[in-house]
Amino acid sequence: MGHHSCCNQQKVKRGLWSPEEDEKLIRYITTHGYGCWSEVPEKAGLQRCGKSCRLRWINYLRPDIRRGRFTPEEEKLIINLHEIVGNRWAHIASHLPGRTDNEIKNYWNSWIKKKIHKQISRTPQSSSPPVFEHAQPPVFATADQVDTILQHDLPKLGPDPMFPSPCPLFMFDSGSTSSSSKEEQLIQEATNNLDSDYIWNPNHHQQADHRQAIMPAFLAFSSCMDSNYFTPLADTGIGSAGAQPCCMVEDGDTSRRSFGKNDQQTEWVDTRQYSSPLIWEHLPNVGMGSEALPPTPSNIDNAVTTFPSPFTRIN
C-alpha cells in the first residue's frame, strides 16, 4: 500500500479533521493561497499530507461550498449529467456550483441508485428482464481499421448458432470536426441503412428480415448533439480520439447498463425517465470476466481480431 510521496512522513495524521486543524488550514490558505499542496502542511503547521489538506479544503473548507440537501433541480441535473458522462463526478460537479464531486458521488451511490431501483421494482416488465451477455464492447476504430476488418477478418469468421452473422459494432463521433471523408461516408451509410433500434435491441437480432441490415452495426453519435449536455463532453475528450468503450442492451423500456472496472456491476434502469435519446455508459474496461482491453489506438489491433456477436444470449 504505497502512499503518496508527500504522505511518507512518519508523523502524518490520518482520520477526521479537528476544528483546530481546520482553522489552521483556513488561516493559511486565506492568507497565502495554496500554490503547492505538498508545502501547505508544513507551512500551515499541520501534521497532514498535502493531499489530505487539498481534499479537506476542496470538499469542506473552501468558502463557496454549498451544504445541505440537494434540490430537486440539482437531483434532476445529476441524473441527466450522469446519463451522459457516467461516473465523471468532477465533471458533474462542475455543473453544480458549490457542490463537490465527493458529495455528488456519495449522493448518487446512496440515494439516487436506491430511487432508481425502487422505480424498477414497480415496473412489471422489468421484474424478469431478459439476460444478455455482451461479449465484446463496441470498437472505436478509424475508417482504415474498419476497412481492414471488413475485408480481411470478417469473412474468416464462422456463423454464430444464434446470430448467423458476426456483428461487430463500431462507433463514430459524427460531430467530430476531425472526421475524415471516409469516416463520414461510413457514418452516412450507417445512418442511411441502419435503424439504431435494430443495432441495440438484441431481440431484433433474431428477426431474419433484419439480419443483413444490422451486421455489421455502426453507431454514429455526436458530441455536438445537444448544446446543453453534449458540448461539455468535448472537453472531456469524448470523441474519436478519446472515446471509451461502452455497452448498452435495451429491452423496451429498460436498459442494462454495465459499469465498473471489471464489469462486475450491472443494473437495469428504466430508460423512460431519461430525456436524451442516447443513454450510455463509458467503461474503462468491459468484458464478462475476460481480459478484454478497452480499445485504444495502441491495442486496437488486438481488440478487433475476433468478432463475437455483441450480444450473446445466456438464458
Partner DNA sequence: AACCGAATCAACCGCTGTTTC
Partner DNA sequence: GGAAACAGCGGTTGATTCGGT
Binding site for DNA (CB under 7 A): 1-7, 13-17, 35-38, 48, 50-52, 54-56, 59-60, 87-91, 101-103, 105-107, 109-111, 114, 259-261
Backbone torsions φ then ψ of 212, nearest 5 degrees: -65, -30
Q: How far apart are CA 66 and CA 99, in angstroms?
A: 6
Beta carbon nearer to DNA, 6 or 186: 6
**To the nearest whole angstrom, how small is the minimum distance from the Cβ of residue 32 to DNA?**
13
Q: Name the DSSP class of 241.
A: T
Give the torsion through C-alpha atoms of 176, 177, 183, 187, to 10 deg: 50
Beta carbon nearer to DNA, 236 or 312: 236
**To the nearest whole angstrom, how small is the minimum distance from the Cβ of residue 236 to DNA?**
8
**To the nearest whole angstrom, how small is the minimum distance from the Cβ of residue 52 to DNA?**
4
**Are the beta carbons of 212 and 167 closer than 8 angstroms?**
no
**To the nearest whole angstrom, how small is the minimum distance from the Cβ of residue 82 to DNA?**
10
The one-letter amino acid code at 84 reads: I
Between strands 248-251 and 312-313, the pairing is unpaired
Beta carbon nearer to DNA, 105 or 204: 105
- Compute the chain's Rg from CA coordinates: 23
SS3 1: coil
| Cell triple for 193 | 441503412
Beta carbon nearer to DNA, 90 or 131: 90
Give the torsion through C-alpha atoms of 198, 216, 310, 285, to 10 deg: -120
**To the nearest whole angstrom, how small is the minimum distance from the Cβ of residue 8 to DNA?**
10
Length of the chain: 315
Beta strands in 51-134 (DSSP E): 132-133
Beta carbon nearer to DNA, 32 or 261: 261
**To the nearest whole angstrom, how small is the minimum distance from the Cβ of residue 195 to DNA?**
31
Beta carbon nearer to DNA, 38 or 271: 38
Beta carbon nearer to DNA, 52 or 309: 52
**Are the beta carbons of 28 and 54 closer than 8 angstroms?**
no
Q: Name the DSSP class of 279.
A: -
**To the nearest whole angstrom, how small is the minimum distance from the Cβ of residue 313 to DNA?**
28
